[in-house]
Chain A
Amino acid sequence: MTKATHQQNLQGNHACALAAVAAGCRFYAGYPITPSSEVAERMSLELPRVGGTFVQMEDEIASMGAVLGASMGGIKAMTATSGPGFSLKQENIGYGVMAEVPCVIVNVMRGGPSTGMPTRPAQGDVMQARWGMHGGYQIIVLAPASVSEVYGQTVRAFNLAERLRTPVVVLIDEVIGHLVETVRIPDPGGLDIQQRNWAAVAAGEYQPYAAGDDMVPAMARPGDGYRAHTTGLTHDESGFPTQDPETVERVSRRLLGKFEHHRAQIDQFEELQTRDAEILIVAYGISARAARRAVREARSKGIKAGLFRPITIWPFPQQALTKAAKKAKRILVPEMNAGQIVLEVERVAGRGRVKGINRIDGQAVTPSDILEAIGTGD
């Protein structure tokens, strides 16, 4: 990774591991599971080379706990899994949200529910990534659509995790995770890396959950002499539990509000010919690659089609979609599930003109699936 940029054939899962290391990740704990195992495998090779730690844990729950512990200990940390493991990790991810522990969780989606189809692709965890935990909360979920984007979005996941002091999910589908593409990965020296915001006040004045204008509290670096109490219970600025209504209201509003405050940095999306689009496709991951081709083929036949691709899928980029959908008479939402993001698109654009294109047969959405729904007359 110290070499200058060069062209190489890289698998999505390997790109994820390389990006994590480039973003400063020095701790990985996980329990290998298809189709995410190559992330763990590559991390086990890369981390020792940079003085990092790789732990193959006894299960997914413990993995997530170890990641939180490592991050609280001052190290950027990550785990990777697939659906069944993602379910197991939810409780500890919730702890990470509440205790504001920066970390990255990679979920390479496979067919479900339950153990489903380990080697077949799906996009069935979109709602789980948003709502998988109990309690009201915000979370950031990024959905890359190519190998080079897996790299970029994994780096971004670490940056957002540190900037907002929160768990960030990278949601990859099996196709993209296992896809090998010829890519040019950036020189790690040229990457924009967010470092942790360490507490710098006098030890006696430090409050682990007191935030300034940016709504994100500075963290205590272990060894710097700060006292920091951490709990999953609702806590005040001191880090100790409270049930005082006024305080609870204040700290809960901040925990949710920091995401809106940093929204400009969180939102990311891509548009292809949306300006005059009468038929708008909204898609993410591999389904968006199918949509890209479908849009170009439809355009070549004179059909005004366009693509809106959320890259950050949660929080959902509703303002940008509203704008992109202005002229759309029909909005098509291809997904490898029975209809998840389509609900969000309906919320934003209104139900009448929105229609899902759903594959739940363990196969990727194809350009022809979308062209058929567009109705190109072929």
Chain B
Amino acid sequence: MAGMKVKKTSPRHEFEIRLSGSGGQGLQLLARIFAHAFSSEGKVVAQSQSYEPTSRGGLSRSDLVVGMSEPDYPLATNIDFMLILDQVAVKAADGVISDDSLVITDARLVTDPPKGAFRVLALPIMETAIGLGNPRVANIVAMGALTGEGNLCSIEIIEAAIRENVHAKLTNLNVKAFQEGLNLVAN
């Protein structure tokens, strides 16, 4: 009979990220790029998602649990860094963020951000994307803001991950969007 023992020690758990907004905002792609970047740094990622059976609109979220080995539980339960790109996603913060969490919201699309002792940064993410000529890169602008403010990963590694995961024609636009996002939280 094949019985297997699991190691008694807990896997080292580093941080959890929730990327939320409405369907079509590119949150799953964003999670994939982040996951790519973290695993290129040698970390182990568990990426889960929740979506509704519609192709546009509706709550969409993607979570990342990042550590140095396979987590016991791969789903997020205690979010350290949260992105909210649409008012519909505010409810995705319920019960999973704590006083130490950082919440970044889009200043225009999130009219009533979650309230609490945690830090909330309302940033002109969508406005910046529109300024770049394409609202669809709002996800990557947000990525820059999260990376900069949360000190999540080296800039070079994220940029390389962006290059590997977006269409070649859109690489420059996305890298620019990432840099603009970093600028939103510089100083």
Query: When the two chains form their complex, are residues B74 and A118 in contact, meaning their CB atoms are under 8 A apart?
Result: no
Question: How many B residues touch A, CB cutoff 8 Å?
Answer: 30
Judged by a CB distance under 8 angstroms, whether A182 is at the interface is yes
Q: A249 CA to B48 CA in the complex, in Å?
A: 50
Docked pose: A272 CA to B72 CA in angstroms: 12
Query: Scoring B residues 31 to 75 as 1 if CB is less than 8 Å from chain A, else 0, what string do you get?
Result: 010011001000111111111110000000000000000111111
Cα distance, A182 to B44, chains bound together (Å): 5
Shortest C-beta distance, A328 to chain B (Å), equals 16
Given contacts A118-B53, A180-B45, A292-B6, 12 further A-B contacts (CB under 8 A): A269-B1, A270-B3, A270-B4, A270-B5, A270-B6, A292-B73, A317-B1, A319-B1, A320-B3, A366-B73, A367-B73, A367-B77
* B5/A271 in contact, CB under 8 A: yes
Q: Which residue of B lies closest to A7 (CB)?
A: B39
Q: Report the contact-size class of chain A (Cβ under 8 Å from the partner).
A: 35 or more
A293 at the interface (CB under 8 A from B): yes
User: Contacts of B50 on A, CB cut-off 8 Å?
Assistant: 119
User: Are A273 and B39 interface neighbours, CB within 8 A?
Assistant: no
- Tell me whether B46 and A180 are in contact (CB under 8 A): yes
Most A Cβ at <10 Å: residue of B6, B10, B49, B77: B6
Partner of A9, one of B3, B8, B39: B39
Which residues from A are CB-within-8-Å of B186? none
Q: Is A296 engaged at the interface, CB distance under 8 Å to the other chain?
A: yes
Closest approach, in angstroms, between the C-beta of B71 and any C-beta of chain A?
A: 8
A269 with B4, Cβ < 8 A, contacts A7-B39, A181-B45, A181-B47 known: yes
- Chain A residues within an 8 Å CB radius of B44: 181-182
Q: Are B1 and A267 in contact (CB under 8 A)?
A: yes
Say yes or no for B2: interface residue by CB 8 A criterion: yes
Q: Please give the residue numbers on chain A whose beta carbons come within 8 Å of chain B beta carbons, in ascending order.
A: 7-9, 34, 118-119, 146, 148, 175, 178-182, 263-264, 267-273, 286, 289-290, 292-293, 296, 307, 311, 317, 319-320, 364, 366-368
Q: Which of B4, B51, B52, B75 contacts A271 (CB 8 A)?
A: B4
Query: Given the complex, which residues of A lie within 8 Å of B52, measured CB to CB?
Result: 119
B10–A296 touching, CB < 8 Å = yes
> In whole angstroms, what is the CA distance A9 to B33 when docked?
10
Also in contact, A271 and B70, with CB within 8 A (given A175-B75, A366-B75, A367-B77)? no
B2 and A267 contacting across the interface, CB-CB below 8 Å:
yes
Do A179 and B46 form a contact, CB below 8 Å, given A366-B75, A367-B73?
yes
User: How close is A35's CB to chain B, nearest CB, in angstroms?
Assistant: 10
Known contacts A9-B35, A9-B47, A296-B10; is-contact A181 B3 (Cβ 8 Å): no
Chain A residue nearest to B39 (CB atoms) is: A182
**Residue ID in chain A nearest B10 by CB atoms:** A296
Q: Are B46 and A181 in contact (CB under 8 A)?
A: yes
Contacts A180-B46, A271-B6, A289-B73 hold; do A34 and B1 have CB atoms under 8 A apart? no
Identify 27 residue pairs between A and B in the complex whose beta-carbon atoms are under 8 Å apart, listed by A's number.
A8-B39, A9-B35, A146-B70, A146-B74, A175-B48, A179-B46, A179-B48, A179-B74, A180-B35, A180-B47, A181-B70, A182-B35, A182-B45, A182-B46, A263-B1, A264-B1, A268-B4, A270-B3, A270-B5, A271-B3, A271-B6, A286-B74, A289-B75, A293-B73, A307-B6, A320-B3, A367-B72
